[in-house]
Structure 1
Amino acid sequence: MPFILITVLIDMIAIGLIVPVLPVIVGTFTANPTEQTFWFGVVAFTFGVANFFGSPILGALSDQHGRRPVLLIGFAGLALSFIVTGLATALWMIIAVRLFSGAMQANAAVANAYVADITPPEQRARRFGLIGAMFGLGFTLGPALGGWLGSMNVHLPFFVAGGMALLNWLYGFFVLPESLPAERRRPFDWKRANPVAALKGLSQLRGVGPLVAVAALASLAQFTLHNAWVLYTTFKFGWGPAENGKSLFAVGVMAVLVQGFLLKHMLKRFSPKKLAAFGLLGSSITYLGFGLASEGWMMFVVIIIGAVIGGGAQASITSLLSNAAQAHEQGQTMGSMASLNSLTAVAAPVVSAALLGLVSHRPPGDPWIGLPFFFCAGLQALGALLALAHFRRQRLSAAQAVA
């Protein structure tokens, strides 16, 4: 487990490094902010679409060839994409390399499959929480470091990120062991690996099909928040880069604390099903709190409370889906989950832009500026209701079987 945690941490720091500077790089090839916004949307859309198609394929390949070689391919692709972006002399080069990067990059999905390989089902929620903590830590350190390096040279973060991806490749090649033994592998099948069939297969996993819809709703809410956060806080509180940086730092720190430390104790008292259902309800309340906050300091209070009451939901849902899949299907299952996330990541910018466009004319402090977060709260509440109804049906079916 320490091997894969270090791998994920380095990977997330490298990805986080380019977050503050990628829009700036795109802006160097455009004439005005409107063009910059449009083409940055195209870059993000390109990556999401490519990742939607690539993740289930790479996940299925990891079921056939093992996790280690697919992770190494992902690290190499990531390194190449960072370095080429840093050297790009035209906008089409950035779009092309993000297309390539999205297709080759399923590291998070394969890392989750790796964890499933080496972890008994009853411990997976806790270990998926540790993976989530590494995500939080990486996205805390990465953007902070990227902003500092970008202040010296806007291209520098891409070369540092490429170097870290190469470091991860070397670490994986010389240190990271394979987690999937030969007897648990299965042949690659294009019919199962295409994204439509992969999502259909995900929904047909025994006993957890409705949780796929729950995961999609939660993912759409999360990505909508990511896309709306900076503009929302600017419109409502007049925040600048410094305040937004502090708030995102707080989010990362709380993710590390809750998923890295508190989740272990929460799982001793509550089952993953309860943590999933009540975590979704807690997340709904958290989004509502973000939308209703009337002062900037309130956002930090909501971040802290929301991480505690809703922080166990994602790891719990991932563990329930993983436990429903066979040992030889973990790569494709996690790849399908990554594909689902990519699909919501493509939809979220459109949703957040439309909702913010409806309220952007309102004066600072107007509660209706929180419309994107009210929408997210509704998504999470619907997910919680679907999860509770699904778990109730499972209990009734079990009781009938016993009778």
Structure 2
Amino acid sequence: MNKPLLIIFATIALDAAGIGLIFPILPRLLAEVTHAGNIAPYIGIMTALYATMQFICAPVLGLLSDKLGRRPVLLISLAGAAVNYVLMAFAPQLWMLLLGRAIAGLTSANVSVATAYITDISPEETRARRFGLLNAVFGLGFIVGPVLGGVLGDYWLRLPFIAAAVLNAANFLLALFVLPESRTPQKQKIVLAELNPLRPLRWAFSMKALLPIICVFFILSATGEVYGTCWALWGHDSFGWNGLWIGLSLGMFGVCQTLVQAFLPGPATRLLGERGAVLLGVGCASIALVVMAFAREGWIIFAIMPIFALGGIGVPALQALATRQVEEDRQGQFQGLLASVVSLASIIAPLAFSSFYFVVRQTWPGAIWLSVVVLNVIALPLIVLGTRNAGRDAKADESLLRGG
């Protein structure tokens, strides 16, 4: 594996670890800073603030990566993450924590720029495999992050943030001195109107061929939010799981999904094609979710975990398909748009799923997973429609727009 890929993967791993390490210690940190008995609203505010800033800024940063190059935008993202963790490590008041999360959301172009970078340096036949590795690395970071946060937080509540700041600063220096630029930046001047965060949405809606694939990303991103929102509550309500068993179940899922995304997307794409791999992933996840909805014993969840994790096959294939929806000089803008769509789902989905869960909690907690299956069924025709011509129509639409 070449050095640029290693640096990109390290960036994503640190980003995921930084997100994950906050989970076990954020309630205690907010309680310490706010002195409030009920800190749930503050957690919601911080989560929504991060996702909102990401929704607004990710398309702008993606466009800037097309204009200025991937490397400078990635460096800005790493610097912003380091500043965020420093603020959270030493913030004595709530507004400083909120400022840190706003900065993190504003500069959180890691995934979109990293995806565009990999697209730049990878031939089409290797993209699905490399996107699988990208997602696997993210999964590893997300497994390590909560453990790191919990262990270091037992010594000092602010120590995990200092560790994250140091790691991001080291990665910034590594990228600064070692990471090459992956593409020749465009020489056109940046027009202020292009930085309008809503402009990429107008651009997307102007090309009908892009809409199905964007809707698929939104649906799959929204369904991905249900696990972090409802898994712990469902495990306790359905099986009486305590924190240890909830952690073990999430850890096992993380390990299985990491292995799947590290080794299977490439072979699955070669055997089934990209569209077939996406459909297989959605199908495996749906089968597992139906079993989870009707399960009455906790061991069943662990038994079906490998099938559940096979759902991860579809994401890298979908990412590879998405890269062929637009021309090479618009990859950053398109990836920023997709990151914005993911952020929008991160704002809406937790509220929707948590509201639905509390409606069904007393009668049938497992019904929450059937709601995910319904959304997966809605996504199936969109997957077929959006990948029918593998980007040919989208590129034709874009050429017409440019010509006009």
TM-score normalised by length of structure 1: 0.90
Asked if the contact 2:321/2:387 (under 8 Å) is kept, the reply is no
Stretch moving more, 77-86 or 87-96: 87-96
Seen in structure 2, the aligned counterparts of structure 1 residues 185 and 10 have a Cα distance that, compared at 3 Å, is farther
2:132 equivalent among 126, 129, 132: 129
**Structure 1 position 79, deviation (Å):** 0.7
1:379 equivalent among 363, 375, 383: 375
Seen in structure 2, the aligned counterparts of structure 1 residues 10 and 43 have a Cα distance that, compared at 3 Å, is closer
Stretch moving more, 53-62 or 249-258: 249-258
Q: Is 1:116 equivalent to 2:119 in the alignment? A: yes
**Structure 1 position 140, deviation (Å):** 1.1
- In the aligned structure 2, how far is the partner of 1:339 from the partner of 1:126? 24
Structure 1 counterpart of 2:255: 253
Give the secondary structure class of the aligned counterpart of 1:369: coil
Asked if the contact 1:132/1:255 (under 8 Å) is kept, the reply is no
- In the aligned structure 1, how far is the partner of 2:146 from the partner of 2:181? 30
Give the secondary structure class of the aligned counterpart of 2:282: helix
Structure 1 counterpart of 2:243: 241
Structure 1 counterpart of 2:396: none
The residue type equivalent to 1:386 in the other structure is L
Seen in structure 2, the aligned counterparts of structure 1 residues 314 and 191 have a Cα distance that, compared at 3 Å, is farther
**Structure 1 position 358, deviation (Å):** 1.1
**Structure 1 position 92, deviation (Å):** 2.0
Equivalent positions of 1:6-21 (< 5 A) are: 6-21=10-25
Structure 2 counterpart of 1:213: 215
TM-score normalised by length of structure 2: 0.90
Structure 2 counterpart of 1:400: none
Q: How many residues align?
A: 388
**Structure 1 position 129, deviation (Å):** 0.9
Give the secondary structure class of the aligned counterpart of 2:365: helix
Seen in structure 2, the aligned counterparts of structure 1 residues 393 and 263 have a Cα distance that, compared at 3 Å, is closer
1:167 equivalent among 154, 166, 170: 170
- In the aligned structure 2, how far is the partner of 1:205 from the partner of 1:273? 20
Asked if the contact 2:79/2:168 (under 8 Å) is kept, the reply is yes
- In the aligned structure 1, how far is the partner of 2:353 from the partner of 2:28? 21
Asked if the contact 1:208/1:320 (under 8 Å) is kept, the reply is no
Asked if the contact 1:67/1:180 (under 8 Å) is kept, the reply is yes
Give the secondary structure class of the aligned counterpart of 2:262: helix
Seen in structure 2, the aligned counterparts of structure 1 residues 188 and 123 have a Cα distance that, compared at 3 Å, is farther
- In the aligned structure 2, how far is the partner of 1:336 from the partner of 1:394? 19
Structure 2 counterpart of 1:338: 339
Structure 1 counterpart of 2:31: 27
> Considering only aligned residues, what root-mean-square deviation do their CA atoms show, in Å?
2.2
Gaps of 5+ in 1: 398-403
Q: Is 1:64 equivalent to 2:67 in the alignment? A: yes
**Structure 1 position 325, deviation (Å):** 1.5
Seen in structure 2, the aligned counterparts of structure 1 residues 232 and 30 have a Cα distance that, compared at 3 Å, is farther
**Structure 1 position 259, deviation (Å):** 1.0
Identical-residue share of aligned pairs (%): 33
Seen in structure 2, the aligned counterparts of structure 1 residues 387 and 145 have a Cα distance that, compared at 3 Å, is same
Asked if the contact 1:225/1:376 (under 8 Å) is kept, the reply is no
For each residue in 1:223-276, what CA deviation from the matched residue of structure 2 results, as whole angstroms up to 9, or x when unmatched?
Answer: 122211122212222222222222222122122211111222212211001111
1:155 equivalent among 150, 155, 158: 158
Gaps of 5+ in 2: 394-404
Seen in structure 2, the aligned counterparts of structure 1 residues 271 and 200 have a Cα distance that, compared at 3 Å, is farther
Seen in structure 2, the aligned counterparts of structure 1 residues 208 and 312 have a Cα distance that, compared at 3 Å, is farther
**Structure 1 position 189, deviation (Å):** 4.2
**Structure 1 position 205, deviation (Å):** 5.3
Give the secondary structure class of the aligned counterpart of 1:179: coil
